[in-house]
Amino acid sequence: MKAKQFVERLMNALFFLCGVLAIASVALIAVYMIVSGIPAIHEIGLLDFLTGEVWASTAAEPKFGILPFILTSVYGTAAATLIGVPVGLLTAVFLAKIAPRHVADKIRPAIDLLAGIPSVVYGLVGVSVLVPLIAQVFGLPKGTSLLAAILVLSVMILPSIVSVSETALAAVPPEYEEASLALGATHIETIFKVSIPAARSGIAAGVVLGIGRAIGEAMAVMMVAGNVANMPALFDSVTFLTTAISKEMSYASGLQRQALFSIALVLFLFIMLINVVLGFLLKRGGRKEK
């Protein structure tokens, strides 16, 4: 009996330790980001840092304006969401409501696999297939551009949108749909007027999750976006918040290095904001189901 109790206690402690480890990591990263990100912002000036349009970190008179990076990240993510959400949502509808079971069972693993493909592979396919294609289709001298990054990101966010939306759609009580059908609505009308509205908080959670993935992506974007610190334009070479950090980190020193930490802090705040929105959506969805 005593041994049993001891094991019970031990395992409890172990679980607690694991939980603490996760929280400690997050807290450590948050504190580190703030501590190492603040000095450069203080030195450059918050307004100059956030709204400056020129980033020339190694010039004789260095300029540290990250507005091009912020706008590129916002535009790129928004456009990728604009493409990814309709495609992802319709895929989810197809899987949850329309496809015969054996077809859905074949498509679902394919989408799960899409989520598991490393981002460097997305980048590799992007740079060897998509980038030359863009140059050819639009008659440009080079294909590395915001457009290429948007297209790569829109495929990368599909899995999170599809799988979360599908789960939400499948959880819609069948009585809702049966009632709609009984009133004479067609299958498609029922999906768009009843199922999707009923699952909207779950779908929104999937979309926000996708946005989080898009804004945090560095590797694939770095390979296709060209990485010049231009203000965003569809066919121009651009730098995202993530790639601004990763491309200069290896040789950076002094204020330049500190400024990269400040960019990371800005990115961190973006991600936190997205997580807060996600938590809010999930909570609202959960309450409604009760």
Interface with other proteins (CB under 8 A), residue total 25
Among 204, 213, 214, residue whose Cα is nearest residue 92: 204
Distances (CA, A) of 64 to 53, 54, 58, 150, 233: 8, 7, 10, 25, 20
- All residues at 6 or more sequence positions from 247 whose CB lies less than 8 Å from its CB, including other chains: 222, 227, 239
CB of 169 or CB of 223, closer to other proteins: 223
Which segment (68-76, 166-174, 210-218, 241-249) binds other proteins by CB under 8 A? 241-249
Rounded Cα distance between 205 and 115, Å, is 16
User: Considering the rule CB under 8 A, would residue 250 count as an interface residue with other proteins?
Assistant: yes
User: Considering the rule CB under 8 A, would residue 119 count as an interface residue with other proteins?
Assistant: no
237 in Cβ contact with 230 (< 8 Å):
yes
| Nearest approach, Cβ of residue 234 and other proteins (Å) | 15
CB of 109 or CB of 139, closer to other proteins: 139
CB of 6 or CB of 16, closer to other proteins: 6
CB of 184 or CB of 251, closer to other proteins: 251
| Nearest approach, Cβ of residue 15 and other proteins (Å) | 14
User: Considering the rule CB under 8 A, would residue 256 count as an interface residue with other proteins?
Assistant: yes
Give the phi and the psi of residue 238 in degrees, each rounded to 5: -135, 165
Label residue 124 exposed, middle or buried (CB < 10 Å: 0-12, 13-18, 19+): middle
CB of 79 or CB of 127, closer to other proteins: 127
User: Considering the rule CB under 8 A, would residue 227 count as an interface residue with other proteins?
Assistant: yes
User: Considering the rule CB under 8 A, would residue 246 count as an interface residue with other proteins?
Assistant: yes
User: Considering the rule CB under 8 A, would residue 228 count as an interface residue with other proteins?
Assistant: yes
| Nearest approach, Cβ of residue 247 and other proteins (Å) | 5
Rounded Cα distance between 73 and 150, Å, is 10
Label residue 185 exposed, middle or buried (CB < 10 Å: 0-12, 13-18, 19+): middle
134-173 footprint of other proteins as x/- string (CB under 8 A): -x-----xx-x-----------------------------
Among 248, 228, 247, 263, residue whose Cα is nearest residue 145: 228
User: Considering the rule CB under 8 A, would residue 22 count as an interface residue with other proteins?
Assistant: no
Provide the residue type at 134 as one letter. Answer: I
User: Considering the rule CB under 8 A, would residue 18 count as an interface residue with other proteins?
Assistant: no
- Which residue do the tokens 């863009």 mark? 134
52-71 footprint of other proteins as x/- string (CB under 8 A): ----xxxxx-----------
- The one among 80, 248, 258, 278 contacting other proteins by CB under 8 A: 248
User: Considering the rule CB under 8 A, would residue 237 count as an interface residue with other proteins?
Assistant: yes
96 in Cβ contact with 169 (< 8 Å):
yes
CB of 182 or CB of 253, closer to other proteins: 253
222 in Cβ contact with 247 (< 8 Å):
yes
Binding stretches for other proteins (CB under 8 A)? 7, 56-60, 132, 135, 141-142, 144, 222, 226-228, 237, 239, 246-248, 250-253, 256
